[in-house]
């Protein structure tokens, strides 16, 4: 009779189906019992508010221990969720660290292997559940969340984001939110195969480049001895230009080859790149200077939108500006801009250059079909200062 | 006289090597995390609000590799002139990008050494990061000047200069 390990290492369809069925059964059971952990353990303050921009269920500071619990159960281990929800395994208000989860896993008889620089290839070949360190959306500033990778379903990764359900995510959409760190959870010591796949990238990069540089030096010496291609004959400027051209040529070849063919290359995952570009869409909108905003206002063709709250608008605003606060509903925006042509110039501003409302409003207007949206980044502060001087 | 010249040659050579190695390791140190987290670096580039979607993508693809190749070449003393000119270009690019972003009042991560851990205070764009970029540019310019004063050996060396050096040494 084959044991569980054999089944995992076997790449046959039968074993994958068994594993997938086991995942679904275990995760359904987990969803039923997830309510246990909603109580805050003594001595632990969880203050992080849920992110408003995500529709995924929130587990706050417990995401790490939830994932570990699910991974242990998937591996056939015995553990109770309250045993993991303790301050020693959730060491900060932000949640569990990698070290916390390693310690928790080991305390419950599991082998937890923290790995860095994992690739999508590692996920495709993974025979164990992996807890992935992610952020909630591509534009988010920090990686502050854990999700459990339980396997692949065709081209999609099966992710368990406790206490929600199992969801499928294309690898292209996982890449922009994953920092390529993961904790491999297993009942047996993890095979060296996964280590080889993911762990050697940096030393390999260094070793191969040093070998290449050494080889290049030897080749150059050999060429120099034979008097071929001696650039110094043409003078130092030519020699330096040749050096620079060679450096740029090597760089361009490596950059193109890596990004086109490597597992995590930027040209290899257009969807992931598109997702990142979309999350920074407001950064690509044109920025208007004070002079340009004045010209747009003077011409009378531009619609100027003040994205600040009504109190700030009432205290002072640009002449002819329309107040549409950043939290206005889509209907309110439509009402305010009923007569504004979709292809007409729209200039959005808020308090100052550090204020994010103008960008958020500009992004909303672009999504609503306004094609010529610009941001007056200096905002009310710069306008007021220019009026005073 | 001969001794003084020899001392000067040694000082120039030492200074050149020091700058070469310092810049080389600095570029390698900053290139590797960017290569490993290329999607984060792409986000960093877009945060500067200077490049568009396509030009930003090209910057994110090429800059880490230019740093890497320049770093390896500087450490191994291969194509030193090309590598140091690339270092000057990179220093200038970083300085200009940071100066523009600071003038716009952006408070964003520098992205100079790859993505930073959210738990740490971070490498936020500031005058100190601007100063660092300026130091890289200055070191590159000084390194290039020293390279002119004392070119490396091999095919790349002007024969007459090498002979002159040898006669001074003897």
Per cent of chain A over pLDDT 90 is 10
Q: How far is CA B36 from the centre of its chain?
A: 19
Taking CB atoms and an 8 Å cut-off, how many pairs form between chains A and B? 159
The pLDDT of A230-236, averaged and rounded, is: 67
Question: Which strand ranges, in their side-by-side order, compose the sheet holding A156-160?
Answer: A111-115, A178-186, A130-134, A145-153, A156-160, A166-170
Report pLDDT for B160: 46
Burial zone of B153 (CB within 10 Å; 0-12 exposed, 13-18 middle, 19+ buried): exposed
H helices of chain B, in order, are 2-36, 38-47, 53-76, 80-103, 127-149, 159-169
CB B23 within 8 A of CB B33: no
Report pLDDT for A131: 92
Q: State the distance between the two ends of chain A, measured CA to CA, in whole angstroms.
A: 87
User: B98 to each of A353, B25, B29, B74, B154, how far by Cα in Å?
Assistant: 16, 22, 19, 24, 39
Question: ipTM of this predicted complex?
Answer: 0.84
Q: Does residue B31 form part of some domain?
A: yes
CB A349 within 8 A of CB A358: yes
Q: How confident is the model at residue A233 (pLDDT cuts 50, 70, 90)?
A: low
User: A351 to each of A375, A380, B48, B66, how far by Cα in Å?
Assistant: 12, 5, 20, 39
Higher per-residue confidence, A148 vs A77:
A148
The pLDDT of A210-229, averaged and rounded, is: 74
Report pLDDT for A19: 52
Q: Does A94 touch chain B (CB under 8 A)?
A: yes
Q: How many CB atoms lie within 10 A of CB A266?
A: 23
> Which stretches in chain B have pLDDT values below 70?
1-5, 115-122, 150-170
Q: Does residue B89 form part of some domain?
A: yes
Q: Does residue B117 form part of some domain?
A: yes
Higher per-residue confidence, A347 vs A389:
A347
* Paired strand residues for A166: A160
Residues A128, A193: Cα–Cα separation, whole Å: 12
Tally of domains within chain B: 1
The pLDDT of A79-106, averaged and rounded, is: 86
Contact: B36, A245; criterion CB under 8 Å = no
Q: Which of B53, B86, B104 sits opposite A284 (nearest CB)?
A: B53
Residues of A in contact with B78 (CB under 8 A): 213, 216-217, 220
Q: How confident is the model at residue A199 (pLDDT cuts 50, 70, 90)?
A: very low
Helix (H) or strand (E) holding A311: helix A310-315
Q: Which of A94, A144, A213 sits opposite B76 (nearest CB)?
A: A213
Contact: B69, A254; criterion CB under 8 Å = yes
Residues A344, B80: Cα–Cα separation, whole Å: 53
Report pLDDT for A378: 86
Q: How far is CA A44 from the centre of its chain?
A: 28
Contact: A220, B118; criterion CB under 8 Å = no
Q: Does A37 touch chain B (CB under 8 A)?
A: no
Residues of B in contact with A258 (CB under 8 A): 35, 65
Residues of B in contact with A254 (CB under 8 A): 65, 68-69
Report pLDDT for A6: 33
Residues B90, B132: Cα–Cα separation, whole Å: 12
Q: DSSP secondary-structure letter at A349?
A: E
CA dihedral A294, A296, A302, A305 (to 10 degrees): -30
Contact: B68, A209; criterion CB under 8 Å = yes
Angle at A210 between CA B81 and CA A206, to 5 degrees: 115
Classify the C-alpha dihedral A103-A109-A114-A118 as positive or negative.
negative
Residues of A in contact with B80 (CB under 8 A): 243
The per-residue DSSP string of A109-169 comes to T-EEEEESS--HHHHHH--S-EEEEE-SSTT-SS--EEEEEEEEETTEEEEE-TTS-EEEE
Contact: B32, A272; criterion CB under 8 Å = no
Distance from CA of B66 to the nearest CA of A (A): 5
Report pLDDT for B19: 92
Q: Does B78 touch chain A (CB under 8 A)?
A: yes
The pLDDT of residue A44 is above 70:
no
Q: Does B38 touch chain A (CB under 8 A)?
A: yes
Report pLDDT for A41: 32
Q: Does A268 touch chain B (CB under 8 A)?
A: no
Q: Does A176 touch chain B (CB under 8 A)?
A: yes
Residues of A in contact with B77 (CB under 8 A): 217
The pLDDT of A364-385, averaged and rounded, is: 88
Q: How confident is the model at residue A35 (pLDDT cuts 50, 70, 90)?
A: very low
The pLDDT of residue A134 is above 80:
yes
Q: Does A213 touch chain B (CB under 8 A)?
A: yes
Question: Which strand ranges, in their side-by-side order, compose the sheet holding A345-349?
Answer: A287-288, A372-376, A345-349, A303-306, A322-323
Q: Which of A214, A256, A284 sits opposite B76 (nearest CB)?
A: A214
For the record, the structure tokens of A35 come out as: 């309510």
Q: Which residues 132-161 of B are in CB contact (within 8 Å) with A?
A: 148, 151, 154-159
Helix (H) or strand (E) holding A372: strand A372-376
Residues of B in contact with A245 (CB under 8 A): 82
Contact: A251, B69; criterion CB under 8 Å = yes
The pLDDT of residue A194 is above 60:
no
For the record, the structure tokens of B60 come out as: 């994110």
CB A227 within 8 A of CB B57: no
Q: Does residue B1 form part of some domain?
A: no
The pLDDT of residue A133 is above 50:
yes
Residue of B54, B82, B92 to mutate for A, most A C-beta atoms under 10 A: B82
The per-residue DSSP string of A277-304 comes to HHHTGGGGS-EE-HHHHHHHHHHT-SEE
Residues spanned by the domain of B50 = 7-169
Q: Does residue B129 form part of some domain?
A: yes
Q: Does residue B2 form part of some domain?
A: no
Q: Which residues 283-302 of A are in CB contact (within 8 Å) with B?
A: 283-284, 287
Burial zone of B4 (CB within 10 Å; 0-12 exposed, 13-18 middle, 19+ buried): exposed
Residues A92, A48: Cα–Cα separation, whole Å: 11
The pLDDT of residue A164 is above 80:
no
For the record, the structure tokens of A269 come out as: 């995952």
Residues of A in contact with B64 (CB under 8 A): 255
The pLDDT of A29-33, averaged and rounded, is: 44
Q: Does residue B139 form part of some domain?
A: yes
Contact: B43, A139; criterion CB under 8 Å = yes
Contact: A377, B104; criterion CB under 8 Å = yes
Report pLDDT for B113: 83
How confident is the model over A94-119, as pLDDT tens digits? 888 888 898 888 888 888 888 887 88
The pLDDT of A267-292, averaged and rounded, is: 87
The residue written with tokens 């408070």 in the block is B107
Burial zone of A45 (CB within 10 Å; 0-12 exposed, 13-18 middle, 19+ buried): exposed
With helix as H, strand as E and coil as C, how does A180-243 read?
EEEEEEECCCCCHHHHHHHHCHHHHHHHHHHHHHHHHHHHHHHHHHCCCCCHHHHCHHHHHHHH
Q: Which region among A39-53, A252-266, B6-20, B71-85 has the lowest average model confidence (pLDDT)? A: A39-53
Q: Which residues 55-74 of B are in CB contact (within 8 Å) with A?
A: 56-57, 60-62, 64-66, 68-70, 72-73
Q: Which of B106, B103, B110, B104 is CA-nearest to residue B125?
A: B110
Residue of A140, A171, A276 to mutate for B, most B C-beta atoms under 10 A: A276
The HSE-up count of residue A258 (CA atoms within 13 Å, CB side) is 21
Helix B53-76, helix B80-103: angle, nearest 10: 140
The pLDDT of A17-36, averaged and rounded, is: 46
């Amino acid at each position: 009779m084959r044991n569980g390990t054999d089944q995992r290492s076997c790449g046959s369809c039968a074993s994958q189906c068994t594993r997938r069925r086991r995942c679904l059964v275990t995760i359904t059971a987990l969803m039923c019992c997830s309510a246990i952990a909603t109580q805050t353990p003594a001595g632990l303050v969880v203050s992080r508010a849920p992110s408003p921009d995500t529709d995924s269920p929130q587990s706050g500071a417990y995401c790490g221990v939830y994932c570990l619990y699910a991974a242990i159960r998937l591996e056939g281990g015995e553990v109770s969720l309250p045993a993991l929800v303790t301050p020693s395994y959730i060491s900060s208000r932000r949640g569990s660290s990698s070290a916390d989860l390693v310690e928790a896993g080991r305390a419950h008889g599991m082998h937890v292997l923290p790995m860095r620089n994992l690739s999508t290839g590692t996920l495709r070949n993974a025979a164990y559940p992996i807890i992935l360190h992610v952020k909630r959306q591509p534009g988010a500033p920090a990686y502050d969340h854990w999700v459990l990778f339980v396997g692949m379903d065709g081209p999609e990764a099966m992710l368990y984001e406790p206490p929600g359900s199992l969801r499928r995510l294309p690898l292209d959409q996982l890449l922009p939110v994953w920092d390529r760190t993961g904790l491999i959870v297993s009942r047996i010591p993890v095979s060296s195969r996964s280590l080889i796949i993911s762990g050697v990238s940096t030393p390999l990069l260094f070793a191969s480049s040093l070998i290449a540089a050494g080889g290049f030096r030897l080749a150059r010496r050999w060429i120099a001895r034979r008097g071929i291609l001696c650039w110094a004959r043409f003078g130092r400027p030519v020699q330096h230009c040749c050096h620079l051209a060679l450096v740029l040529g090597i760089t361009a070849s490596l950059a193109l080859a890596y990004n086109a063919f490597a597992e995590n290359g930027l040209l290899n995952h257009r969807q992931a790149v598109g997702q990142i570009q979309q999350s920074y869409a407001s950064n690509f909108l044109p920025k208007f200077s004070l002079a340009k905003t004045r010209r747009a206002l003077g011409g009378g063709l531009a619609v100027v939108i003040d994205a600040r709250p009504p109190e700030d608008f009432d205290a002072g605003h640009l002449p002819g500006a329309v107040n549409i606060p950043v939290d206005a509903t889509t209907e309110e925006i439509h009402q305010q801009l009923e007569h504004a042509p979709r292809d007409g110039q729209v200039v959005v501003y808020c308090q100052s250059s550090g204020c994010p409302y103008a960008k958020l409003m500009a992004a909303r207007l672009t999504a609503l079909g306004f094609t010529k949206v610009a941001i007056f980044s200096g905002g009310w502060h710069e306008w007021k200062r220019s009026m005073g001087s | 006289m001969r001794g003084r010249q020899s001392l000067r040659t040694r000082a120039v050579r030492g200074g050149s090597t020091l700058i070469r190695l310092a810049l080389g390791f600095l570029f390698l140190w900053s290139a590797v995390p960017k290569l490993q987290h290329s999607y984060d670096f792409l986000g960093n580039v877009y945060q500067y609000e200077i490049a568009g979607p396509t030009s930003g993508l090209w910057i994110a693809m090429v800059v880490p590799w230019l740093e890497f190749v320049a770093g390896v070449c500087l450490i191994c003393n291969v194509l030193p002139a090309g590598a140091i000119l690339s270092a000057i270009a990179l220093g200038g690019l970083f300085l200009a990008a940071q100066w523009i972003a600071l003038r716009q009042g952006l408070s964003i991560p520098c992205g100079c050494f790859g993505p930073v851990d959210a738990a740490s205070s971070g490498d936020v764009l500031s005058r100190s990061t601007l100063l660092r970029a300026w130091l890289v540019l200055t070191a590159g310019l000084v390194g290039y000047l020293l390279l002119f004063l004392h070119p490396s050996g091999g095919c790349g060396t002007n024969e007459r200069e090498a002979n002159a050096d040898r006669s001074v040494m003897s």
